[in-house]
Amino acid sequence: MPASASSASRLKRSRRLVGSNLRSLRWPLVVVAAVVLADQGTKLWAVSSLTEHTPVRVLGNFLMFSLVYNQGGAMGTRLGPSGYYMIMALIVLPVVLYYLYRNRQFPAISLPLAFIAAGAIGNLIDRIRLGQVIDFIDVDFFDISLGSFYLERWWTFNVADACISCSIVFLIAHMFIQRRDLDSTSCARGGPEPPADSTH
């Protein structure tokens, strides 16, 4: 094959590969953009419409909007100053994006990772811009009692937090289901062989 024909063939394959990658990343990118916009938009609304630490009842005591500025992390954690969480987000975000790209052909993995990445970006924008995160969604889920720890009302959160938490739960459940299916398949393949025919 002439060198020019070989180069043209490689160029076509390269273009097809790039096109396939872009198509696989289309929906994850849409998710990232949509979640970041929704997160930042709702936070801007909360700051302009709510008064700090003054709850507004939406569905009685079950769902309220309460503006809070959070320098710590999710679920009320305080492992360090706000800068600590910003540095951790800058470390974790590239890892999430890397695995998103690695699993771009598998929507059950790439889409939850896109939600996690978007949530991390949304909260990171807050920390860079304000030095703290804007929370405003206040929901009264079930109480938690573990020894001396008792939680009567859940922590106030935002759209980014919800996307991260729900996506992590989904990925964990997905991994367990996949592992169970693999174990079931292995057991089925490793089952007892049918008895050999004794008739000759």
* DSSP code at position 52: B
| 83 vs 195, more confident | 83
Which residues belong to the active site?
135, 161
| 174 vs 74, more confident | 174
Whether residue 19 is predicted with pLDDT greater than 70 in this model: the reply is no
| pTM of the full structure | 0.80
Of 34, 32, 159, 174, nearest to 96 by C-alpha is 32
The residue whose two tokens read 């849409």 is 30
